[in-house]
Structure formats: C-alpha cells, structure tokens
Amino acid sequence: MVENYVFPATVSAAVTALSTNRGRARIIAGGTDLLLEHQDSKNLCDVLVDLTTIAELKNITEENGFIRIGASVTHAQAAKSEHILKHAPALAQACSKIGSLQIRNTATIVGNIVTGNPAADAAVALACLDTTVEVTNLDGMQTMPLADTYAGVCLSCIDSCCQVVTHVHFPVKQKNQGSAYLRMEQRKALSLPMLAVSAMVALDGDTFDWVRLVIAPVGAGPQRALDAEEFLKGSLVNAENMAKAGQLARNHAVFRSSAIRGSKEYRMGVLPVFVERVLQAAVEDARGA
C-alpha cells in the first residue's frame, strides 16, 4: 500500500528518496501505466517519487546538435512541440495517436519507454531516431541506446526503484533526412496499435543514403527490419524498391495471433503496405514536401 508520496525538487533528491526507501519506493510520472499495475499487484511499493515538480525535466530543448526531451514531457506536449515537429515528425505523429486527449495530457514519453510495452507508440518512433536514454542513480549518470533498455516483453532494464531516466536525446534532423510513423489500430482512440512502423531516411539525390526502419509489436521492444534497411542503402528512391523493402521487412516480423491485435496472417499481409507508406512519408519529409 502506498504510504507516502514525495515531490523531490531535484534529480539528486529523487535518487536519494529511492535509495532511502531501499526498493520500496518507485518513480511515478503520469501514472497511466504504474497505477494500473499497482492496482493489479496490490503491493508494488510503499512510496511514490513524483518527478513532475523537477523543473529541468519538463522541457524539450535543442542542445549541441541533439533534441533533448525531459522525463516529465507528456505526449501532448511533444505532439505540438516546434522542435519535435521540425526534427522528428515520426515522434509527433506517434504521440498524437496515443490513448485519448486525457491520457496524452498526463502520460510521458519516458514512461512509455520504461513500461517496456513492445507496442508503445512513442518508443517505436524514438527507435528510428537513434535515441539515447540518460539514466541517473547514486553512482552518477550513464547513457544507453534505447534498444538496450528492453529486457523482455513489458520488461525494462531500467529499475525504477533505484534509477531515474532524466532525459532522452536524438540527433537533430539534417538536410535530406526525414521521418514518419504509421500505425494500424482497431479504433481511433484508446487502443494500442495492432501494427506500428516508423522510418527515418537520409537521401543522397535520387538514392537512399541510409534508412532506419522499425516494426512493432513483433518482439521485446521495437525491432529493426535490417534486411530491408540493407537493401535500401544505395537503392534508387522509387515505388518498386520501397515495395521490395516491404516484402523484406517480413523477415523480421514474428507476429502472434491475438484476439485484440488480429491474426498473425492478417498483420503479416498488411505489413508490406505499411512499410511502403511509411517510407514514402519519410521521403516526402526529407524532400520538404
């Protein structure tokens, strides 16, 4: 049962509050995942450490060639941020699809990562942006690639009882680069995606210089479609090659049939179409269309 709810003023005070309570305290951000989990498990923690009053965690900034997002930034905030719209349309598009207006106003991007859900929209978009996670504990700050934070389906390597993710960051978008995000869902609100794809492309004239293509939910965390990425590198930007990449993305998709998310055959069938569309949208962004 939660007996105490604390509002530290600094990251250091948050880490101290976790340490003082030795595994019985836990970070809470928007609480949209944690409180449901707490209700189910009944006895998850005794103390909740709320980050929302720490000023430095509330902002989205551009610093030294990177976009940096604080741990208290909500999906609604990101979806309309000038920095995100300019440098990471994929993330703005993903954040604008999450849950409902109420959920987007409360839930955070960092919470979406730490919760470890392979279908988490913001995390799938961040995966194509080459995102790094900044983690602080009693020993100091360390960084890790987003992909390394996943320990299994709905399991994170981040231990919210002793570690605080303070920010995530990714490189600013260069000229001739673009990104996009697409999801297929049962309803337009309050529904996790049945299929989500994100792409970042770098163009060199009429060819792809490189591509990062991500698909979900097909495993623990967002998965890179590496065969498709390899094929597109140096290929002409045309409909035929994007269609071929869609077929190659299937090599990395292991769907499970689910009453909520649809059959594996259906999702395997629509995957190439979504890959083609997300690549086309990312190319349009890169060309400033």
Ligand X SMILES: Cc1cc2nc3c(=O)[nH]c(=O)nc-3n(C[C@H](O)[C@H](O)[C@H](O)COP(=O)(O)OP(=O)(O)OC[C@H]3O[C@@H](n4cnc5c(N)ncnc54)[C@H](O)[C@@H]3O)c2cc1C
Helix (H, G, I), strand (E, B) or coil at 274: helix
Options 132, 160, 198, 241; binder of ligand X; rule CB under 6 A: 160
Q: Which of these ranges, 139-147, 156-164, 205-213, 263-271, lies near ligand X under the rule CB under 6 A?
A: 156-164
Answer yes or no: are the C-beta atoms of 1 and 46 closer than 8 Å.
yes
CB of 191 to ligand X, least distance (A): 6
Site string for ligand X, 91-110 (x = CB under 6 A): -------xx---x---xx-x
Site string for ligand X, 21-50 (x = CB under 6 A): -----xxxxxxxxx----------------
What is d(CA 52, CA 37) in angstroms, rounded to the nearest whole number? Answer: 20
- How many helices (H) does the chain have, and how many strands (E)? 11, 14
Q: Of 220-249, which residues contact ligand X (CB under 6 A)?
A: none
Kindly report whether the peptide bond that precedes residue 217 is cis, defined as omega within 30 degrees of 0.
yes
Closest to ligand X by CB, 175 vs 188, is 188
Q: Which residues contact 209 (CB under 8 A, 6 or more apart)?
A: 176, 202, 203, 233, 234
- Of all residues in the shown chain, the one whose CB is closest to ligand X is 111
Q: Of 190-219, which residues contact ligand X (CB under 6 A)?
A: 190, 192
Answer yes or no: are the C-beta atoms of 231 and 248 closer than 8 Å.
yes
Please count the residues of this chain forming the interface with ligand X, following the rule CB under 6 A. Answer: 30
Closest to ligand X by CB, 10 vs 251, is 10
Residue type, 4: N
Closest to ligand X by CB, 114 vs 286, is 114
Closest to ligand X by CB, 51 vs 237, is 51
Which residues in 130-169 are b (16+ Cβ under 10 Å) and which e? ebbbbbbeeeeeeeeebbebbeeebebebebbbbbbbbbb
What is d(CA 223, CA 147) in angstroms, rounded to the nearest whole number? Answer: 9
Closest to ligand X by CB, 129 vs 232, is 129
Options 114, 182, 202, 218; binder of ligand X; rule CB under 6 A: 114
Site residues (vs ligand X, CB under 6 A): 26-34, 51, 71, 98-99, 103, 107-108, 110-112, 114-115, 120-121, 158, 160, 163-165, 190, 192
